[in-house]
Structure 1
Amino acid sequence: MAADGFQHGAFQHTLRTPAVFAGVGVHTGAYTRASVHPAPVDAGIVFVRTDVTGRDNRIPVTGKAVCKTQLGTVISNADGVTVSTIEHLMAALVMLGIDNAVVELDGPEMPIMDGSAEPFVRIIDRAGRRPQAAARRFIEIRETVEVRDGDKRAALKPAHRFEVAFEIRFPTQVIGRQVIDMAMDEFTFRREIADCRTFGFVHEVEALRALGLARGGSLENAVVIEGDGVINPEGLRRPDEFVRHKALDAIGDLYVLGAPILGRFEGVLAGHGLNNQLVRALLARPDAWRLRTFAEEIAEAV
């Protein structure tokens, strides 16, 4: 059996107790209260808009529920109810081994917190984890699936563990070309990825706000680049924080598949849009993957 820490053995997990938090949405600027609750076996991750009445306010997370990917991942249900910017919480949930949870919020966008997944890791740690009496399912990649858009590329390939490789290139000295390639488990995620923040450029801010985006963005929740430098007074948390955050986003974007992955993700200049194209390409190729559990292997070992 693969022994990556994030898998927490062969059984499903949920939260032990609810966890409550609040903050502004990076794009809407709206202040939102949210809470993550325990959920039963096989429930998956479900978002609930408590501010919506008169129509279905539940949005189960699936690959096909993703309806928009401009600067974040947005999911919707058949009644058109949406929740945006879910990727940082989703990354924390999958890498800390949470299979089932209900996320309630009273607004259209998840709080951005500090722009990384670290606050969500702390929230999950505070709530605790509870094992459940059902086998955890993994998506085992059996054949390579790849999507391209010009020089951008994203792929899932067979591997015996979850691996993440990413490459970015930006024409500013503070970023340039950055590459990471890691075997990804809970320990590595906590130590190397979780605290890496989203980033943007000063010259893009006005254009984004004209589109109704980045209204809640600030130096408190994003790394902001001007020219060849970072204007945040505290600077960077890591020299390659930018590519590590892109990897964080990809981990969260992949968890819309509903199960952790046994395979290798490779992204080159990819973003939320290409990540979701890859998710949909995988779903369209049932020959390229299978759902797998390890409960029987553990029983045989005992």
Structure 2
Amino acid sequence: MGKILVNKSHTLTGHNDCIYALVEGGDPRFFYTGSGDGMVVEWDLDDPKDGKLIAKLTHSVYALGMDAARNWLIVGHNFEGIHVIDLQENKEIWSLKLTDQAIFDVKVIGDEILVGTGDGVLVLVDIESKAVKRHIKLSSKSIRVMDFARTKKHLALGLSDFTIKVLDVAKEYQPLTNLNGHQNSVFALGYSPDEKTLISGARDAQLKFWDTESYEQAENIIAHMFAINYLSFREDGKYLVTCSMDKSIKVWDVEERKLLKVIDKARNAGHGTSINKVIWSSYSQQVIAISDDRTISIWTIESQNS
């Protein structure tokens, strides 16, 4: 493994409050951000300097989901519900009032929109009828993050009750297993591209590796100084990035489960406050991060022998 080289390509501004939501577009050349100011913005990786305002909502936006098949952006509007934006037409096409709670994550699986709420309810919305299909109460605590293994049809959910719940989507969302081990809220969750590993990160600053055949814990790493807020795999599954309340981004070798690089303010002119989400772009292979400091950073990350 060669030396990891990091270069900041861009710092993007425009939001007037902490930025909480980040998602890659169905066309991965574009990505979308949402923030405490209620603004949802589209950014173009080919020309990222100027974002395009997509929506301005009355409450903060913690969650964005992408329906790649329809080219729809699903906006989780706190204390309200969801807004569905047709990105081709660049307009809102429908909305649904769902909850008086915060919405922490939104995912699209086939013809369903999955909404994770602050009172521990997974809301299933049927896209065709534009109506709530089902409420699944998982906890009295918040659903913070979700990830879906498409081949296995497993949905993993990280909660503020310190657990990870895994549901079998092919069997009407039947519970498969309940993973315990974190000492605090689970904020970060991701299946590896080969779906052999589920990785979780939490407010306890620990990164856990779970074998998805047995869902046994395979490894635990004290990965950051403070809460791990999010994680994202590179498309090939070799590397992983985590971001944290400790203001750093860390690059990991997935197979070796080894830290390769720390990106922070002192060494790389990184963010000065909590980094809330990070994605490894499948378009440019750059790392995109959002922060409480109201800025977006784009990083070029290369290994000398990659």
**TM-score bracket relative to the smaller structure:** under 0.3
Which structure shows the bigger proportion of residues in strand conformation? 2
Q: RCO greater where, 1 or 2, for CA within 8 Å and sep 6 or more?
A: 1
Q: TM-score, normalised by structure 1?
A: 0.25
